[in-house]
Amino acid sequence: MGFEGHLPSTSPIEFPFGWSTVHADATFPDASRRNVLLITVRPSLLRLIVISVLPYLPEIIRSVIGATFPGILLPTNVIVKKQKPGWEDEFEEEKARYRMLESLQGDIIPQLFGEIRVQGTRALLLSYVAGIRCDKVSDLEVEHFQQLLEDAHLRLRPFGYVHDDPRLDNYILVDGQKIVIVDLEHLYEIEETEIEYTMGTIIRAIVKIYRRSYKNHLEDI
């Protein structure tokens, strides 16, 4: 997940991750999604030392450190997506989808680092996607936007999934060259015979919404 613009003031947060404890500063990057936190991991001497020497260690030692003390190796910015009240099944389903789509993590979906507990609530720890949410994009040509959107959706097809939530804020534009899908709560399995039609319908709906933004952008020039 990625966000742009001014962020609200931060507050301290800590949580266990493996045998390590992560100390960070947290903020709400999107006022409409209060279960999503953008956290900045605080630097520490131990973290700096481990990160600096890790490339020179044998692979087996690096694996042991990563598995035992994963918090030390986290990127500086990560996303915490807390389970919504009463959404136990949806939380498990989203976690399962990330595992099913492991080969797409860090590419067209965020990377899942693992499950944690924050402030007494289960949460997914996800990679931060540096980009612009597509509801904030309006200057990309419609044809280019549609092609990037199709590319992202087509990567889901071999797994039998479609992303059925036609909202622009579920997508992040990265460097104007790739779209990343950031909300897997609305990822559904579908029969192969229905994928092409369903996917096409969803893409057309999203492009229709974006086309209005692009039109408004042209009128403002």
Q: Which of 94, 127, 160 is the last residue of a domain?
A: 127
pTM of the model: 0.87
Indicate which CATH number applies to the domain containing 60.
3.30.200
- Decide if 149 contacts 166 (C-beta within 8 A): no
What does the pLDDT read at residue 221? 65
What does the pLDDT read at residue 6? 41
Are residue 40 and residue 18 in the same domain, yes or no? yes
Are residue 101 and residue 75 in the same domain, yes or no? yes
Position 6 in a domain: no
Are residue 54 and residue 69 in the same domain, yes or no? yes
Q: Which residues contact 92 (CB under 8 A, 6 or more apart)?
A: none
Indicate which CATH number applies to the domain containing 151.
1.10.510.10
- Decide if 217 contacts 139 (C-beta within 8 A): yes
Position 4 in a domain: no
DSSP class of residue 29 equals S
Position 220 in a domain: no
What does the pLDDT read at residue 164? 86
Position 203 in a domain: yes
What is the residue range of 167's domain? Answer: 132-215
Are residue 146 and residue 98 in the same domain, yes or no? no
Q: Which of 77, 99, 127 is the last residue of a domain?
A: 127
Per-residue pLDDT of the chain (221 residues; tens, 9 = 90+): 544 434 456 789 999 998 889 999 999 877 778 889 999 999 888 888 888 888 888 999 888 888 888 888 899 999 999 999 999 999 999 999 999 999 999 999 999 999 999 988 999 999 999 999 999 998 999 999 999 999 999 999 999 999 988 899 999 999 999 999 998 988 888 888 899 999 999 999 999 999 998 888 787 76
Are residue 121 and residue 15 in the same domain, yes or no? yes
Are residue 75 and residue 122 in the same domain, yes or no? yes
Gap between the Cα atoms of 114 and 161, Å rounded: 22
What Å distances lie between residue 204 and 5, 128, 147, 183, 197, CA to CA?
A: 28, 27, 11, 19, 11
- Please give the structure tokens belonging to residue 9: 């003031």
Burial of 82 (0-12, 13-18, 19+ CB in 10 A): buried
Position 44 in a domain: yes
What does the pLDDT read at residue 7? 45
Position 117 in a domain: yes
DSSP class of residue 73 equals G
Gap between the Cα atoms of 203 and 153, Å rounded: 8
Give the chain's domain count.
2
Gap between the Cα atoms of 185 and 91, Å rounded: 8
Are residue 92 and residue 136 in the same domain, yes or no? no
Q: Which of 106, 127, 148 is the last residue of a domain?
A: 127
- State the sign of the Cα–Cα–Cα–Cα dihedral 128, 55, 19, 47: negative
